[in-house]
Structure 1
Amino acid sequence: MPKQLRELFALICVFNGPANPTELFHQFEDQLIEDSLIQETRENAIQNALHEIQTTLSLHGIAADLLTNGRTAHSGFKFPIPLLETSTSSMRIPSPESEKIEKASLIIIGEASVLSGNALRVINNLLKEIMNSQRPFGGKVFLLGGDFRQTAPVIPRASDAAIIESSIKQSNLWRFVTKLSLTENMRIEGQQEFNRWLIAIGNGTISDGEEHGNDLIEIPQQMHSSGNIVQDIFCISLIVDTNEEIEAVIGKIILTPKNNYVLQLNNNVLDLIQGKSIFYTSVDSIAYDNIESEANYHVEFLNSQTPSGMPPHVLKLKKSAIIMLLRNLNPRKGLLNETRLIIISLNDLYIHGKMISWNKKGEEAFIPRNDLTPSDTSLPFKTTRRQFPVITAFTMTIKKSQGQSFNNVGLYLPSPVFSHGQLYVALSKTSNINNLKILAENSIVGDRVFIKDIVLQELLQ
């Protein structure tokens, strides 16, 4: 697979910074040019391979999202991380990216409920500069798609007031928005009672637990878990060999509020797959500008940390497991953050997988180890973890599931939801009420199950 090997070589150059990439190329030269040698001289085959690798390197960071030729807002508008009140776009003007925006007749942004007011301000200023116009958004037409019943902008450890203040509805640019409403939920057509119940939960107008608390929702009996949410969704064994079996598995998911629950459940589902588990251990370190911190914190402490968006120190994988990327690797090839793949084989230096999501479904790729630094952490210093940038993807946080839909959904709540819209998002991930199971620990009263709902009414007004 010379083509995939060339992509792997480019990714290693981008993320791992080999000391001598030329020597590395010549070490594996025969394998990298094997397909071109059939029709080309060796010299031309080498030049073609180097050109392809260079193209991959230059296109790194131009992301495509769910839609063909689409991008995430962070990538498309070059948002900095973190996005602050003083932030500006890093996009160069002129550049190929700015020229595409200038020529666009319509710009569509989905999941607008999670877009912050700061993001909207950055977009407005960028478009004014690109279009050389002081009109709002440079005179460009925007279509913002979203449901404000869903989760709001993420602000770690923020108060409700801060979350409300960060919403695009609080931006002074919101007055330029004309609001249009969709009236029919096409995903749950024919289940009007379920639809009305979901809308009431999203609006915060339903409460069934007056004697226990006004924010409690009673779960219908048919949604109750048997007590084992993994078996409720994935049965007692998991076979992922044929295309039909793969399609069945990728249509199933267990959702939960917190990352530590995700890691636990993913390992439980992984145990259902036949075969030997392979364990990959990360190398963790403190950034060079924190020498004093390195003396105060032992490596065992760094190993114990798993910040949001990072793989664990000990990564447990199996052949045929479903995995999800945790960062953009090669957007042009479909290797994006949250892209899901099925593992074909596991090796010491790379993972061989086949994409099962987005518009590159069926294409194969090699995933190398990367140096990853979390963008948000409670630690007073920056850390780096060298690990494969993946986690198993049988389970995900409610937040990460936004914008997706599944056939069978389990909701695991060892602790209640903790932010606006989480319950509404989780319960609306399937189109069939009979394919939804909920396990809510410490929420059972007799034979009734109550779960918490959090709705910030200011975001719905």
Structure 2
Amino acid sequence: MTVIDRKESMIFFVDGPGGTGKTFLYRTILATLRKAGHIAIATATSGIAATLLPGGRTEHSRFKIPLTPNASSTCSVSKQSDLAELIRRATIIIRDEAPMVNRCALESLGRKFKDIMEINLPFGGKVLILGGDFRQVLSVVPKGTMAEMIDACIVKSPLWKNVKALHLKQNMRSINDEEFAEYIQRIGDGNEPFIMDDLIKLPPSMAMQWEGHHSIYNLIDQVFPSLQEHANDARYMVDRTLLTPINDDVEQLNAKIISQFPGDEFTLHSFDEVEGDNNHLYQQEFLNSISPGGLPPHILRLKKGAPIMLLRNIDPKAELCNGTRLICRGCFNNVIDAEILTGQYSGTRVFLPRIPLKTIENVHLPFVMIRRQFPVRLSFALTINKAQG
């Protein structure tokens, strides 16, 4: 706040383990500055983290950062645009979950800010607050080596030498369970003793005995107790989810839970094609079998009352962003009736259309596939990356 009052420039990094109050801090700063008439831009790398900030957007959506940035890429914001004018007028820019983003994205944003502000200072002299926790999910390099993952980190960026780190240490979320907070901290710092192959032993109170394949259903019952009775309960759905690292596991868990869910099932098929494939070289069956992360499944099975997650930015002003969680209230051939579960628009009813979605470069397909489908997937289970924040 002193830096803002003196009209100086500075880049801060708010470092704190999960639960130390980073989001609370951002919300307080945003409220204080906006009340004083300042313009504050709130962004985050992951969709869920963005919906927790008032007026929050994913940074790729807000600043037009390329989805697969490289060392020379730039954000597609023209100097004459309304967005460029918003950046000029903004007092502060907050970027939550910054360690998740590739450093090339941060550097491309730095170059664009310099260009817009016409000031040769880091980020054009703007006050920037980066936040996150390096113990959590870092930037994903598909099939990357350890060296490539470390090189993609923002600490390896030349901009990092200009960053002032601030540390949050007390875990507010588990203030009544200090033992658990210390245990999580030891894992994050790499101080918890290993058994073998980098595996740690979980306390019995946190683990379930493996008793064959049926244990998966026991886990589902633990996380979603009395599921049949809470089929249309929005609060029940938003308070619980299953987390797993891999997309394939998410699909299997969602398929198991939707089969137990009460009500009539709606089966919605996508139409898939290859961009520029006028000779139809690729069979529909083959295209239907492809299920890259970020695209909805070919066969989308929904039921009234099931939780779903949006996979694209449809209307960011109304918080219909990538990562927004909704509950299905009705299903038709060309539209899904849904209710927003989180954020300031919680409880708002929206209609979601089918849209064409393209695969991106890092999927490593020899062609660009276009899938015409509803941009949603079930969210009983999520990947850890998608739930970050």
TM exceeds 0.5?
yes
Query: Which letter maps to 1:260?
Result: D
2:10 maps to none
2:70 maps to 84
Query: Which letter maps to 2:241?
Result: I
1:68 shift after superposition: 2.3
Residues in 1 aligned to 2:62 and 2:329: alpha-carbon distance in whole angstroms: 32
Question: Pairwise CA RMSD of aligned residues?
Answer: 1.7
Residues in 2 aligned to 1:377 and 1:117: alpha-carbon distance in whole angstroms: 20
Instruction: Assess if the C-alpha contact under 8 Å between 1:311 and 1:387 holds in 2.
Output: yes
2:171 maps to 185
Residues in 2 aligned to 1:68 and 1:281: alpha-carbon distance in whole angstroms: 35
Query: Which letter maps to 2:221?
Result: Q
Query: Equivalences for 1:413-432 in 2 at 5 Å?
Result: none
Residues in 2 aligned to 1:70 and 1:236: alpha-carbon distance in whole angstroms: 34
Query: Which letter maps to 2:244?
Result: T
1:139 maps to 125
Query: Equivalences for 1:290-329 in 2 at 5 Å?
Result: 290=277, 294-295=280-281, 297-329=282-314
Query: Which letter maps to 2:334?
Result: L
Q: Secondary structure at the match of 1:255?
A: strand
Corresponding residue to 2:329 among 344, 359, 366: 344
Corresponding residue to 1:156 among 142, 147, 172: 142
Query: Which letter maps to 1:224?
Result: A
Size of the aligned set, in residue pairs, is: 333
1:240 shift after superposition: 3.4
Instruction: Assess if the C-alpha contact under 8 Å between 1:354 and 1:363 holds in 2.
Output: yes
Q: TM-score, normalised by structure 1?
A: 0.70
Residues in 2 aligned to 1:379 and 1:202: alpha-carbon distance in whole angstroms: 35
Residues in 1 aligned to 2:151 and 2:259: alpha-carbon distance in whole angstroms: 44
In the alignment, does 2:238 pair up with 1:250?
yes
Residues in 2 aligned to 1:387 and 1:236: alpha-carbon distance in whole angstroms: 31
Instruction: Assess if the C-alpha contact under 8 Å between 1:151 and 1:399 holds in 2.
Output: yes
Residues in 1 aligned to 2:194 and 2:142: alpha-carbon distance in whole angstroms: 30
Corresponding residue to 1:237 among 211, 217, 227: 227
1:397 shift after superposition: 0.3
State which drifts further: 74-83 or 359-368. Answer: 74-83
Residues in 2 aligned to 1:106 and 1:349: alpha-carbon distance in whole angstroms: 41
1:219 maps to 202
Residues in 2 aligned to 1:115 and 1:347: alpha-carbon distance in whole angstroms: 37
1:71 shift after superposition: 2.1
Query: Equivalences for 1:416-455 in 2 at 5 Å?
Result: none
Q: TM-score, normalised by structure 2?
A: 0.82
Query: Which letter maps to 1:235?
Result: P
Instruction: Assess if the C-alpha contact under 8 Å between 2:106 and 2:154 holds in 1.
Output: yes
2:340 maps to 355
Query: Which letter maps to 1:188?
Result: S
Instruction: Assess if the C-alpha contact under 8 Å between 1:352 and 1:367 holds in 2.
Output: yes
1:343 shift after superposition: 1.2
Residues in 2 aligned to 1:248 and 1:237: alpha-carbon distance in whole angstroms: 9
Instruction: Assess if the C-alpha contact under 8 Å between 1:67 and 1:359 holds in 2.
Output: no
Query: Equivalences for 1:13-412 in 2 at 5 Å?
Result: 65-209=51-195, 212-213=196-197, 215-225=198-208, 227=215, 228-235=218-225, 237-240=227-230, 245-288=233-276, 290=277, 294-295=280-281, 297-375=282-360, 376-403=362-389
Q: Secondary structure at the match of 1:260?
A: helix
Query: Which letter maps to 1:219?
Result: L
Deviations 1:323-374 (A, max 9, x none): 1111011112221111111111111111011111122111111111111112
Q: Percent identity?
A: 38
Residues in 2 aligned to 1:156 and 1:95: alpha-carbon distance in whole angstroms: 34
Deviations 1:368-399 (A, max 9, x none): 11111122323211111111111111100011
**Where does structure 1 differ by over 4 angstroms across 4 or more consecutive aligned residues?**
none
Structure 1 stretches lacking a partner, 5+ long: 1-62, 404-461
Instruction: Assess if the C-alpha contact under 8 Å between 1:225 and 1:232 holds in 2.
Output: no
Residues in 1 aligned to 2:103 and 2:294: alpha-carbon distance in whole angstroms: 23
Instruction: Assess if the C-alpha contact under 8 Å between 2:313 and 2:321 holds in 1.
Output: yes
Deviations 1:84-122 (A, max 9, x none): 111011001122111111111111110011122111211
1:197 shift after superposition: 0.9
Deviations 1:164-223 (A, max 9, x none): 0011100111000011110111111121111111111111121241xx33x110011011
Query: Which letter maps to 2:191?
Result: T
